[in-house]
Structure 1
Amino acid sequence: MATNGKKEDQMSSSDKPSKTLHPAYSVTNVQSMIRTLDGTKVTYTSWVKLFRLHVVAYQVLDHIDETPPPAETNPEFQSWKEPDALVLQWILSTISDNLLPRVIDNTTTTRHAWLKLENIYLRNKKARAGVLETKFCNQTLAACSSLDNYCEQLKDLAYQLEDVDHLVTEERLVLQLVRGLPAEFDTTASLINANDADWDLARSMLEDEVIRQEARQKTSQSVLVATTPQ
């Protein structure tokens, strides 16, 4: 009878449901989901949007929002502290090497790191906005290595302006795109304005024009070579 009792105890113990693992622990490569924040290619606003989507999906939004943590004397503190350290690792793993020393110093919680980044990017908004506005308005195709680079520079500056509460509308973005073009793009620029083109259409029209200009240049060079006396 005692043996049977022991078997029953073993069975009941094995039948007990195991503790459910928090969804956050299933993340193995956070960099594949959240791009590295560097302030230019990936702006603060873009990074925040990606990070918020990630923490909502893995049920840890309360670690970056204003939800207060449990007191250290609370029995739930330990179960809060471990995922908080994990989310803090996500932040530190998705910011640039230049930002890392500024954020990691004396940082103890995810919320602390979150507020540090917010302070870095959103303080002195007016002064930063003035500098970015000047760069945006003075950007030209001639100053860039290619049309793609020109478009990327304008987009990056628009995103950085959004970070400091200066939203660049698509209409204004297209206007600046056209304004910074050299004279050889005058015809295409007029067509963009006449068709009230959005960003994607305007960029596509310019890409087609670049292809036409390159083709004409190759044809002219071929003709020149053919007609040059040997």
Structure 2
Amino acid sequence: MPNTKSSSSFHPALAVSNIKNHVTVELGMDNDKYPLWVALFTNHTKSNRVLHHIIKPKSSGPKSPVTDYEKDSWKFLDATVLQWIYATVTNDLLENIVEDEPTAMTCWNRIRDIFLDNQHSRAITLEQEFSHTAMANFPSVLAYCQRLKSLADQLKNVGSPVTDTRLVLQLVSGLTDAYHGVGTLIRQSNYLPPFYRARSMLTLEEAGFAKIDATTSSSSALYAKSSDDGNSSSVSASK
């Protein structure tokens, strides 16, 4: 007969062969991906029934292990979650979180403290950068929008959330002169569009500019070729 206890107690977390297929960002000391990393990681732990290994349940969660078998199983699962954390951070961050006999929760809390320490100071710095972010410093509309959204996410993470309305207004205020028309359209709408729609309007405008530039370049090239052909004909005729 098969071992009923072992066959019935197989945990879904143990079936995860590569955590990077699920948590697709790598968290480092010097990047701004903490909110995204947290969202992906917590969602993954929820789907595999191990969220309580990193976040203490507010209500009654899984019962505490009692028997030696349950304690061993808990330690094994905890080590698995801890390994997920280690595998999704950079070496520089890893050096700051590894400790003797850690648990997944202590490691999780240490990462949280690293990124959320001195919240007021971080909020002031992020607020200044958010308010002075301008499109002229970015190669494309998408890069500009992504930076604003990233700063807004970081501000939310340090307890200073940015409303969608303010995000759109900052987006418009930082536009270059070339986008003045669509910026005015967004700003003077009866109902200010949400950020994702304003971003789409700007990317469509950018695509229109690119099409005009391509047409102009093509016309210039055609004109130059015609001029060269004309000059060549004139030279031939003079001979």
1:50 aligns with 2:40: yes
Aligned positions of 1:23-102 closer than 5 A = 23-35=12-24, 36-38=26-28, 43-66=33-56, 75=68, 76-102=70-96
| Identical-residue share of aligned pairs (%) | 34
C-alpha spacing 1:166/1:229, structure 2 compared with 1 (3 Å): same
* 1:124-165 Cα distance to aligned partner (Å, 9 max, x none): 001111111111111111101211111111111111111111
Once residues 202 and 102 of structure 2 are traced to their aligned partners in structure 1, the CA distance between those partners, rounded to angstroms, is 50
TM-score (norm 2): 0.79
CA distance in 2, matches of 1:70, 1:190: 59
CA distance in structure 1 between the partners assigned to 2:67 and 2:180 by the alignment:
69
Partner residue, 1:175: 169
Aligned twin of 2:231? none
Match of 2:100 among 97, 106, 114: 106
* Corresponding letter in the other structure for 1:93: A
Query: What SS does the corresponding residue of 1:98 show, helix, strand or coil?
Result: helix
Structure 2 CA distance for aligned equivalents of residues 77 and 157 of structure 1: 42
Q: What TM-score, normalized to structure 1?
A: 0.82
Q: Which runs of 5+ in 2 are unaligned?
A: 229-239
CA RMSD of aligned residues (A): 2.7
Q: Provide the C-alpha distance between the structure 2 equivalents of 1:98 and 1:37, rounded to a whole number of angstroms.
A: 10
CA contact (8 A) 1:107 1:113 kept: no
Alignment check: 8 A CA contact 2:32 2:154 kept: no
Per the alignment, residue 202 of structure 2 pairs with 206
Q: CA 1:23/1:139 → structure 2, altered by over 3 Å: closer, same or farther?
A: same
